[in-house]
Amino acid sequence: MSLREMTDSVMIEGLVVETVIGVYDWERNITQRLELDLEMGWDNRRAAASDRVEDALDYARVSEAVSELLQRLQPQLLETAAEAVASLLQDQFRVPWVSLTLRKPGAVPAARSVGVRLNRGQADV
């Protein structure tokens, strides 16, 4: 099966990361909550056949890497954070595509959260 025919994915929903993020001076002195939903292209057949985590996209390792990246990066913009996460997933974990939503709850008092959504890569690479 070619990647074009692959429709498998691995999801991580509601990943919470506390980090410094924001453009205002006061935001650079506190941590704030970010919430991520990730869907990553991954051929799950090998892991299904072996029943071994070594053959799977290890969502614990992915979650840890994303958290560490955002805590180290401390970006000003959600857009910067989202692009960095997408690049990490494609480069370090070799996912052919990623769809992610990144939210910053409470950033706008009248809204539950604000955020960005992006899709990077393609199944037919």
Active-site annotation, residues: 104
Token pair listed for 66: 């994303």
What is d(CA 111, CA 21) in angstroms, rounded to the nearest whole number? 18
CA distance 102 to 16: 10
Contact 23, 76 (CB under 8 A): yes
Cα–Cα distance between 91 and 96 in angstroms, integer? 9
